[in-house]
C-alpha cells in the first residue's frame, strides 16, 4: 500500500505539478493529497500541509522537496578523508 501511494504521489508530481512550478520553487516543499491530486507549495512542510488540510480536511498527504530526491537527510555527512 505504501509503495502504491508513493508511485501515485510521484506520478502526480511529474505529470501535473512539476510543469506548473516557477523557477524559484527549488528547495520548496510540495504537499500533495494522493486521493484528489490537490497540492500546496511552501518553504515549510508544516505550512504546506496545513494549507492543504484547510481545503481538504481528510487529505492523505505526501510531501516532496522540489529538485531533490528526499525531504530531509539524516545521518552524518560522507567524508572520504576520514583519518
| Residue 14 in domain | yes
Nearest partner of 34 among 1, 54, 69, 6, judged by Cα: 6
- CA 73 from chain centre, in angstroms, equals 14
| Residue 71 in domain | no
Please check the confidence at residue 82 and state whether its pLDDT lies above 60: no
| Residue 77 in domain | no
pLDDT digits (tens, 9 = 90+) for 3-44: 888 888 889 899 999 999 998 999 999 999 999 999 999 999
pTM over 0.85: no
Q: Are 62 and 6 in contact (CB under 8 A)?
A: yes
| Residue 7 in domain | yes
Q: What's the confidence (pLDDT) of residue 69?
A: 79
Domain count, the chain: 1
| Residue 42 in domain | yes
- What are the backbone dihedrals phi and psi of residue 43, each rounded to the nearest 5 degrees, phi first? -75, -15
| Residue 30 in domain | yes
Whole domain around residue 24: which residue ranges? 2-65
Please check the confidence at residue 83 and state whether its pLDDT lies above 60: no
67 backbone φψ class: left, alpha, beta (φ>0; ψ -120 to 50): left
| Residue 78 in domain | no
HSE-up of 47 (CA within 13 Å, CB side)? 6
Amino acid at each position: 500500500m505504501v509503495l502504491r501511494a508513493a508511485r501515485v504521489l510521484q506520478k502526480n508530481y511529474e505529470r501535473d505539478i512539476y510543469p506548473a512550478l516557477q523557477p524559484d520553487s527549488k528547495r520548496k516543499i510540495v504537499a500533495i493529497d494522493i486521493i484528489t491530486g490537490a497540492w500546496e507549495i511552501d518553504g515549510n512542510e508544516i505550512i504546506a500541509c496545513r494549507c492543504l488540510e484547510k481545503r481538504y480536511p481528510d487529505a492523505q498527504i505526501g510531501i516532496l522537496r522540489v529538485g531533490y530526491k528526499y525531504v530531509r537527510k539524516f545521518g552524518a555527512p560522507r567524508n572520504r578523508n576520514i583519518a
